[in-house]
Amino acid sequence: MSPERLARITNMLNYRQPDLTVFLEQVHKAHNLAAIVRTADAVGVSDVHATWENKTTQISGNTATGSQNWVNLHSHETLEDAVKALRAQGMQIIATNLSDSAIDFREVDYTKPTAILMGQEKHGISPEALALADQDVIIPMVGMCQSLNVSVASALILYEAQRQRELAGMYNGECRLPEEEAHRILFEGGHPIFTQLCKERNLPYPPLDDKGQIDASDDWWLAVRSSVKSLKTK
């Protein structure tokens, strides 16, 4: 791993916000998914949650420009499973919805652990999901249209969350990710060839030194060399 690569990945890790996420309910258009993941990466969101109507839906790498490699996408079988996972992390759930109880999205305190719930492109958020949310929010609009594209709406709310968190000192350059997760991201981003070998041969990711270079035991190197020889003889 080059010093430049190490610095770039480390800087990204130091601004990740593990207690801020997006929850996508049945969002199915690939370009919207990719745009949301791209914005999530841009503001330091490390995880996106989703439920799917069509499980073959995929994120377009062209639109996401590689952001999908840096953001964990968690798929849930049911709405209830997704909400349970978010509640286990102490998250408040904020839902975009035009209703009498909705408040301006900028009035929410996003310095709290927060999941931003976005609904399916055509029908929006389901009544079941709205019932599980803590607060409805709206994005004020004074034109003829009453809604924005889901990826645009996500971006507006995420950047408001970033603004509030920056003012609160939550982007202070100190890594808030669990040590094991930060190591995984750094290793996979800095050593893609060895990452592939580890996955193929079920080997653990080895330690890295302060320059981002592999600092593994002799046994690990022996296992890697054996794996390479085995692949060459096939």
- Residue ranges at the known binding site: 96, 139, 148
50, 75, 199 from 58: Cα distances, Å: 12, 12, 22
- What distance in Å separates the CA atoms of residue 151 and residue 209, rounded to the nearest whole number? 39
Q: Terminal CA-to-CA distance of the chain, rounded, Å?
A: 29
- What distance in Å separates the CA atoms of residue 26 and residue 188, rounded to the nearest whole number? 29
Helix (H) or strand (E) holding 50: strand 47-51
- What distance in Å separates the CA atoms of residue 99 and residue 118, rounded to the nearest whole number? 15
List residues forming the annotated binding site for S-adenosyl-L-methionine: 96, 139, 148
- What distance in Å separates the CA atoms of residue 19 and residue 68, rounded to the nearest whole number? 18
